[in-house]
Amino acid sequence: MATANFKMIKGLEYIYVLRDEDLYAEDEEGKIDYDLREDNYLAEIKTSLKELNLSLDYHMIELLDGYYEGIQLYFKESLTIDDFNISDYDLLKEKRMVIYFMELIALRHNFKKIKLVSQASNGEAFYEYAK
């Protein structure tokens, strides 16, 4: 059974990803060299996310590894037991902010915007670049 490479975010029809060719250097023959990962680039992205997450109360943006390759920006609610009185309006307001912040991070670090075109019954997913 196949598995989708990237995890879709509920309520969004697109996600931001970096493919392996964006994360690893090429060797002399132009092939991806998996020993030459762009660690400084990833550290820069993680620093941006860490700073952003400090300003969020109920959500967290993170990097997820793709099932087969690449990474993606992903966000989730990070509510605690103390947050049970939060209003739906406040949650929605921050979610919109998170989506905006995620787009800023994606632009700053050259993430590609993709959308899920279809998914086979065996779980295999087909993506295309979104506009």
pLDDT band at residue 11 using 50, 70 and 90 as cut-offs:
confident
Beta strands in 9-124 (DSSP E): 14-18, 24-26, 32-37, 59-65, 71-77, 112-119
**pTM for this structure?**
0.84
Q: How far apart are the first and last CA of the chain?
A: 30
Length of the chain: 131
Contact 127, 67 (CB under 8 A): no
In angstroms, rounded to a whole number, what is the distance separating the alpha carbons of residues 110 and 66?
17
Contact 9, 62 (CB under 8 A): no
User: What H or E segment, with its residue span, contains residue 95?
Assistant: helix 88-108
The partner residues of 66 in beta bridges, in order of sequence, read none
Write out pLDDT tens, residues 49-94: 999 999 998 899 999 999 999 999 999 988 776 666 778 788 889 8
